[in-house]
Amino acid sequence: MLLAARGYVQSPGDFADRIQIRFDGVPLPGYGWIFPLPNGAANVGVGFVPNARRGRHPSLTSRAAFDSFIRDRSTGPLPARARPCDSVRSYPIRVDFPESPTSGDRILLVGEAAGLVNPLTGEGIDYAMESARLAAQHVADMFDQGDLSRGSVAGYDRVLRGRFERLFVFCRRARDLSQYPPVLNRLVRLAARRDDLKMTLINVVLGNQPASIDLSTKAVLKRVFALVR
């Protein structure tokens, strides 16, 4: 599960016409965002993994993380005169697709209902749309075959696993490793020097390239440290 909180702020003339993704002033693994909107407003929020390695603060709430992010003027996420224009809303987000049921008695689950939110990035719209397309195609195939049995419905699970399972396992491993600063710092420095590695990681996380590598923690650590030496 991820936790997220978002609110809207107003500060006419202060928000540049660009999206900001920030890692300063937020719990890690996680990130903060600032999405400019019309009329000097912005969508501001944070998302993070709860109960990660936080030392003395293991039970940080999403609202506390949000408040810390917007009040940290040393990192400058918001203009000094920014003011809230809506209440802050907090959400738990399911990211448990590898363990989640995906169907029931004549029911197919899509999107977050099936745990299809990326455990590394928190992105879910793309997976919701793609799983909905796969579900619709599976239903159409069942009607074409005249088979609405439980076995036929359960075949949808195999379709989803074939499309998303390795991606979600890879992203979960990457998220877990990002809790260890020595590993994360080495990987970031390496990706900054090697465009091929950077684009591979981006494409795998976005689902544009298969995660066709050994996904065990030991194997990933071995590769990261071997590449940086």
DSSP classification of residue 37: E
Closest listed residue to residue 114, CA positions, set 172, 104, 29, 209 = 104
| SS3 at position 184 | helix
Q: From residue 194, how far is each of 44, 115, 201, 209 by CA, in Å?
A: 32, 33, 11, 18
Q: Which residue has the tokens 């879910």?
A: 124
User: Which among 44, 36, 50, 38 has a CA at the least distance from the CA of 70?
Assistant: 44
In this structure, the number of other CB atoms found within 10 A of the CB of residue 45 comes to 26
pLDDT at 112 over 90: yes
- How large a percentage of the chain has pLDDT more than 70? 79
Lowest mean pLDDT among 26-30, 33-37, 57-61, 132-136: 57-61
How sure is the predictor about 216, in pLDDT bands with cuts at 50, 70 and 90? Answer: low
- Cα–Cα distances in angstroms (integers) from residue 210 to residues 17, 117, 125, 171, in the given order: 34, 17, 19, 12
Whether 47 contacts 30, CB under 8 Å: yes
What is 61-130 written as a DSSP string? Answer: -HHHHHHHHHH-TTT--S-TT-EE-S--EEEEE---GGG---EETTEE--GGGGT-S-TTT---HHHHHH
pLDDT digits (tens, 9 = 90+) for 39-95: 888 889 999 888 765 554 456 889 899 888 887 655 566 766 777 778 889 989 999
Instruction: State residue 164's pLDDT score.
Output: 92
**Maximum average pLDDT range among 8-12, 19-23, 131-135, 195-199:** 131-135
Least confident segment among 86-90, 144-148, 183-187: 183-187
Which region among 148-152, 183-187, 214-218 has the lowest average model confidence (pLDDT)? 214-218
Break the chain into its structural domains and give their ranges.
2-93, 98-164, 176-228
Q: Is 92 within 8 Å of 58 (Cβ atoms)?
A: no
pTM for the whole structure: 0.77
Nearest CA-CA partner of 13 in 52, 42, 53, 54: 42
Task: Please state which of the ranges 17-26, 76-85, 91-100, 165-174 shows the lowest mean pLDDT.
Answer: 76-85
Report d(CA 134, CA 83) in Å as an integer. 43
Higher-confidence position of 61 and 187: 61
Summarize the confidence of residues 207-217 as an average pLDDT.
Answer: 59
Q: Which two tokens stand for residue 94?
A: 């399911």
pLDDT of residue 199: 79
Q: Find residue 104's DSSP bridge partners.
A: 107
Write down the pLDDT at residue 155. 94
Average pLDDT, the chain: 81
Over the stretch 201-211, which tens digit does the pLDDT of each residue have?
Answer: 777 766 666 66
- pLDDT value, residue 131: 96
CATH classification of 2-93 is 3.30.9, yes or no? yes
Is the separation of the CB atoms in 36 and 79 below 8 Å?
A: no
What local confidence, expressed as pLDDT, does residue 52 receive?
60
pLDDT in the model for residue 187: 73
**What would you report as the CA-atom Rg of the chain, rounded to the nearest whole angstrom?**
20
